[in-house]
Amino acid sequence: MDVILFGPPGAGKGTQAKLLVETLAIPQISTGDMMRAERASGSALGKKFDEYMNQGLLVPDDLVLELFAQRLRRPDAAEGAIFDGFPRTVPQAEALDAKLGELGRRVDRVIVLEVPLDLIIERVTGRRVCLSCGQTYHVRYSPPPPSGECSSCGANDVVQRADDTEEKVRTRDAGYHRETLPILAHYEPTGVVAKIDGVGTIEEITARVLGALQRS
Protein backbone atom coordinates (compact mmCIF):
# COMPACT_ATOMS: atom_id res chain seq x y z
CA MET A 1 0.00 0.00 0.00
CA ASP A 2 1.37 3.39 -1.01
CA VAL A 3 0.17 6.23 1.19
CA ILE A 4 0.83 9.96 1.10
CA LEU A 5 0.53 11.64 4.47
CA PHE A 6 -0.38 15.32 4.50
CA GLY A 7 -1.00 17.72 7.31
CA PRO A 8 0.02 21.22 8.27
CA PRO A 9 3.28 21.55 10.24
CA GLY A 10 2.40 20.83 13.87
CA ALA A 11 -0.51 18.49 13.04
CA GLY A 12 1.24 15.41 14.47
CA LYS A 13 2.18 13.92 11.11
CA GLY A 14 5.54 12.61 12.32
CA THR A 15 3.98 10.80 15.28
CA GLN A 16 1.32 9.17 13.10
CA ALA A 17 3.84 8.22 10.43
CA LYS A 18 5.93 6.31 13.00
CA LEU A 19 2.89 4.41 14.26
CA LEU A 20 1.84 3.55 10.70
CA VAL A 21 5.30 2.23 9.92
CA GLU A 22 4.97 -0.19 12.86
CA THR A 23 1.39 -1.20 12.09
CA LEU A 24 1.65 -1.60 8.32
CA ALA A 25 5.30 -2.82 8.26
CA ILE A 26 6.17 -0.54 5.35
CA PRO A 27 8.84 2.19 5.50
CA GLN A 28 8.33 5.90 5.84
CA ILE A 29 9.99 7.74 2.98
CA SER A 30 10.82 11.29 3.96
CA THR A 31 12.64 13.43 1.41
CA GLY A 32 14.21 15.58 4.13
CA ASP A 33 15.75 12.54 5.87
CA MET A 34 16.85 10.95 2.59
CA MET A 35 18.55 14.11 1.37
CA ARG A 36 20.39 14.52 4.68
CA ALA A 37 21.55 10.89 4.54
CA GLU A 38 22.65 11.21 0.92
CA ARG A 39 24.70 14.34 1.64
CA ALA A 40 26.29 12.68 4.67
CA SER A 41 27.23 9.64 2.56
CA GLY A 42 29.23 11.82 0.15
CA SER A 43 27.70 10.08 -2.90
CA ALA A 44 27.68 11.74 -6.34
CA LEU A 45 24.00 12.58 -5.88
CA GLY A 46 24.69 13.88 -2.36
CA LYS A 47 27.39 16.21 -3.74
CA LYS A 48 24.89 17.60 -6.26
CA PHE A 49 22.48 18.31 -3.37
CA ASP A 50 25.34 20.10 -1.56
CA GLU A 51 25.92 22.38 -4.55
CA TYR A 52 22.32 23.62 -4.48
CA MET A 53 21.76 23.69 -0.76
CA ASN A 54 25.05 25.44 0.04
CA GLN A 55 23.85 28.28 -2.19
CA GLY A 56 20.47 28.29 -0.48
CA LEU A 57 18.79 27.04 -3.66
CA LEU A 58 15.97 24.52 -3.92
CA VAL A 59 17.08 21.12 -5.19
CA PRO A 60 15.49 20.56 -8.64
CA ASP A 61 12.67 18.00 -8.88
CA ASP A 62 14.55 15.61 -11.16
CA LEU A 63 17.30 15.11 -8.56
CA VAL A 64 14.81 14.56 -5.75
CA LEU A 65 12.96 12.09 -7.96
CA GLU A 66 16.13 10.19 -8.76
CA LEU A 67 16.67 9.70 -5.04
CA PHE A 68 13.05 8.70 -4.65
CA ALA A 69 13.22 6.12 -7.42
CA GLN A 70 16.34 4.58 -5.82
CA ARG A 71 14.59 4.37 -2.46
CA LEU A 72 11.44 2.80 -3.93
CA ARG A 73 13.48 -0.01 -5.48
CA ARG A 74 14.89 -1.15 -2.13
CA PRO A 75 13.41 -4.44 -0.88
CA ASP A 76 11.76 -3.00 2.25
CA ALA A 77 9.59 -0.75 0.04
CA ALA A 78 8.41 -3.60 -2.20
CA GLU A 79 4.99 -3.73 -0.52
CA GLY A 80 4.52 0.01 -0.32
CA ALA A 81 5.61 3.09 1.55
CA ILE A 82 4.40 6.08 3.50
CA PHE A 83 5.40 9.32 1.79
CA ASP A 84 6.04 12.27 4.04
CA GLY A 85 7.14 15.69 2.78
CA PHE A 86 6.69 14.61 -0.82
CA PRO A 87 5.12 15.36 -3.26
CA ARG A 88 5.08 19.09 -2.59
CA THR A 89 3.89 20.24 -6.01
CA VAL A 90 1.59 18.90 -8.72
CA PRO A 91 4.48 18.12 -11.11
CA GLN A 92 6.11 16.11 -8.28
CA ALA A 93 2.81 14.25 -7.74
CA GLU A 94 2.61 13.44 -11.45
CA ALA A 95 6.21 12.22 -11.40
CA LEU A 96 5.54 10.09 -8.31
CA ASP A 97 2.52 8.55 -10.07
CA ALA A 98 4.74 7.71 -13.06
CA LYS A 99 7.48 6.15 -10.88
CA LEU A 100 4.94 4.03 -9.01
CA GLY A 101 3.32 3.13 -12.33
CA GLU A 102 6.62 1.70 -13.56
CA LEU A 103 6.44 -0.66 -10.57
CA GLY A 104 2.80 -1.54 -11.26
CA ARG A 105 1.69 0.52 -8.27
CA ARG A 106 -0.26 3.69 -7.62
CA VAL A 107 -1.01 6.04 -4.75
CA ASP A 108 -3.63 4.05 -2.82
CA ARG A 109 -4.49 6.66 -0.21
CA VAL A 110 -3.85 10.31 0.49
CA ILE A 111 -4.39 10.93 4.19
CA VAL A 112 -4.94 14.54 5.24
CA LEU A 113 -4.66 15.28 8.95
CA GLU A 114 -6.89 18.26 9.64
CA VAL A 115 -6.20 20.35 12.73
CA PRO A 116 -7.60 23.86 13.30
CA LEU A 117 -4.96 26.56 13.08
CA ASP A 118 -5.65 27.94 16.59
CA LEU A 119 -4.96 24.51 18.07
CA ILE A 120 -1.69 24.17 16.16
CA ILE A 121 -0.68 27.62 17.39
CA GLU A 122 -1.38 26.56 20.98
CA ARG A 123 0.59 23.31 20.55
CA VAL A 124 3.57 24.94 18.88
CA THR A 125 3.90 28.17 20.88
CA GLY A 126 3.66 26.20 24.15
CA ARG A 127 6.40 23.82 23.10
CA ARG A 128 9.71 23.88 24.97
CA VAL A 129 12.70 21.80 23.97
CA CYS A 130 15.84 20.67 25.79
CA LEU A 131 18.72 21.59 23.51
CA SER A 132 20.94 18.97 25.14
CA CYS A 133 18.83 15.83 24.72
CA GLY A 134 15.83 16.81 22.56
CA GLN A 135 13.22 16.15 25.27
CA THR A 136 10.07 18.17 24.52
CA TYR A 137 7.67 19.81 26.95
CA HIS A 138 4.51 21.87 26.71
CA VAL A 139 3.95 24.75 29.13
CA ARG A 140 0.39 23.57 29.77
CA TYR A 141 0.28 19.82 29.10
CA SER A 142 3.72 18.63 30.23
CA PRO A 143 5.52 21.59 31.79
CA PRO A 144 9.29 21.56 32.22
CA PRO A 145 10.50 21.45 35.85
CA PRO A 146 10.30 24.90 37.50
CA SER A 147 14.04 24.70 38.26
CA GLY A 148 14.64 24.99 34.52
CA GLU A 149 16.60 21.73 34.56
CA CYS A 150 15.64 19.06 32.05
CA SER A 151 13.90 16.11 33.73
CA SER A 152 15.49 13.77 31.22
CA CYS A 153 19.18 14.80 31.18
CA GLY A 154 19.51 17.44 33.93
CA ALA A 155 20.93 20.13 31.63
CA ASN A 156 19.78 23.72 32.08
CA ASP A 157 18.97 24.04 28.39
CA VAL A 158 15.17 24.03 28.08
CA VAL A 159 14.17 26.74 25.60
CA GLN A 160 11.48 27.90 23.19
CA ARG A 161 12.80 27.43 19.65
CA ALA A 162 12.93 30.52 17.43
CA ASP A 163 10.64 28.80 14.89
CA ASP A 164 7.94 28.09 17.46
CA THR A 165 6.22 31.48 17.33
CA GLU A 166 2.67 32.27 16.21
CA GLU A 167 3.95 34.33 13.28
CA LYS A 168 6.13 31.46 12.00
CA VAL A 169 3.27 28.98 12.45
CA ARG A 170 0.98 31.20 10.37
CA THR A 171 3.61 31.58 7.63
CA ARG A 172 4.22 27.81 7.46
CA ASP A 173 0.47 27.12 7.47
CA ALA A 174 -0.12 29.52 4.57
CA GLY A 175 2.68 27.85 2.61
CA TYR A 176 1.22 24.43 3.32
CA HIS A 177 -2.22 25.40 2.03
CA ARG A 178 -0.78 27.07 -1.05
CA GLU A 179 1.30 23.99 -1.93
CA THR A 180 -0.98 21.21 -0.78
CA LEU A 181 -4.44 22.14 -1.99
CA PRO A 182 -3.53 21.73 -5.70
CA ILE A 183 -2.10 18.27 -4.92
CA LEU A 184 -5.35 17.22 -3.25
CA ALA A 185 -7.21 18.47 -6.32
CA HIS A 186 -4.88 16.28 -8.42
CA TYR A 187 -5.75 13.14 -6.41
CA GLU A 188 -9.42 13.80 -5.58
CA PRO A 189 -10.81 12.52 -8.92
CA THR A 190 -9.31 9.08 -8.23
CA GLY A 191 -11.19 8.85 -4.92
CA VAL A 192 -8.11 8.20 -2.78
CA VAL A 193 -8.21 11.34 -0.61
CA ALA A 194 -9.32 10.80 3.01
CA LYS A 195 -9.60 13.78 5.35
CA ILE A 196 -9.05 12.81 8.97
CA ASP A 197 -10.01 14.80 12.06
CA GLY A 198 -6.59 15.39 13.62
CA VAL A 199 -7.95 16.53 17.01
CA GLY A 200 -7.86 14.00 19.84
CA THR A 201 -5.44 11.63 21.50
CA ILE A 202 -2.68 10.01 19.46
CA GLU A 203 -4.49 6.64 19.73
CA GLU A 204 -7.81 8.11 18.56
CA ILE A 205 -6.20 9.69 15.53
CA THR A 206 -4.28 6.51 14.64
CA ALA A 207 -7.55 4.54 14.77
CA ARG A 208 -9.16 7.03 12.37
CA VAL A 209 -6.20 6.82 9.98
CA LEU A 210 -6.23 3.01 10.01
CA GLY A 211 -9.99 3.06 9.43
CA ALA A 212 -9.50 5.26 6.36
CA LEU A 213 -6.78 2.94 5.06
CA GLN A 214 -9.04 -0.10 5.34
CA ARG A 215 -11.85 1.48 3.32
CA SER A 216 -11.19 0.79 -0.31
Verify binding: residue 131, Zn ion, rule CB under 5 A.
no
Minimum CB separation of residue 33 from Zn ion in Å reads 23
Residue 125 or 132: which CB sits closer to Zn ion?
132
Verify binding: residue 152, Zn ion, rule CB under 5 A.
yes
What CA–CA distances, in Å, run from 54 to 36, 46, 49, 152?
13, 12, 8, 35
Span near Zn ion by CB under 5 A; candidates 27-35, 70-78, 151-159, 176-184: 151-159
Which residue in 43, 89, 125, 132 binds Zn ion (CB under 5 A)?
132
Q: Total binding residues for Zn ion by CB under 5 A?
A: 8
Minimum CB separation of residue 149 from Zn ion in Å reads 8
Q: Is 36 a catalytic residue?
A: no
Contact call for residues 68 and 84 (beta carbons, < 8 A): no
> What is the distance between the alpha carbons of residues 68 and 47, in angstroms, rounded to a whole number?
16
- Per-residue burial over 113-151, b if 16 or more Cβ lie within 10 Å, else e, is bebeeeebbbbbbbbbbbeeeebebeeeeeebeeeeebe
Verify binding: residue 151, Zn ion, rule CB under 5 A.
no
Catalytic hit among 71, 105, 127, 208: 127
Q: Show the binding pattern over residues 77-116: x = contacts Zn ion (CB under 5 A), - = does not.
A: ----------------------------------------
Verify binding: residue 130, Zn ion, rule CB under 5 A.
yes
Q: Is 109 a catalytic residue?
A: no
Span near Zn ion by CB under 5 A; candidates 19-27, 34-42, 113-121, 152-160: 152-160
Verify binding: residue 144, Zn ion, rule CB under 5 A.
no
Q: Is 39 a catalytic residue?
A: no
Inter-axis angle of helices 13-24 and 202-214, to 10 degrees?
50
Q: Is 161 a catalytic residue?
A: yes
> In degrees rounded to 5, what are phi and psi of residue 193?
-80, 130
Neighbour count for residue 155 (Cβ, 10 Å): 14
DSSP 76-138: GGTT-EEEES---SHHHHHHHHHHHHHTT----EEEEEE--HHHHHHHHHTEEEETTT--EEE
What single DSSP character describes residue 142?
A: B
Span near Zn ion by CB under 5 A; candidates 48-56, 85-93, 126-134, 181-189: 126-134
Interacting residues toward Zn ion by CB under 5 A: 130, 132-133, 135, 150, 152-153, 155
Active site residues per annotation: 13, 88, 127, 161, 172
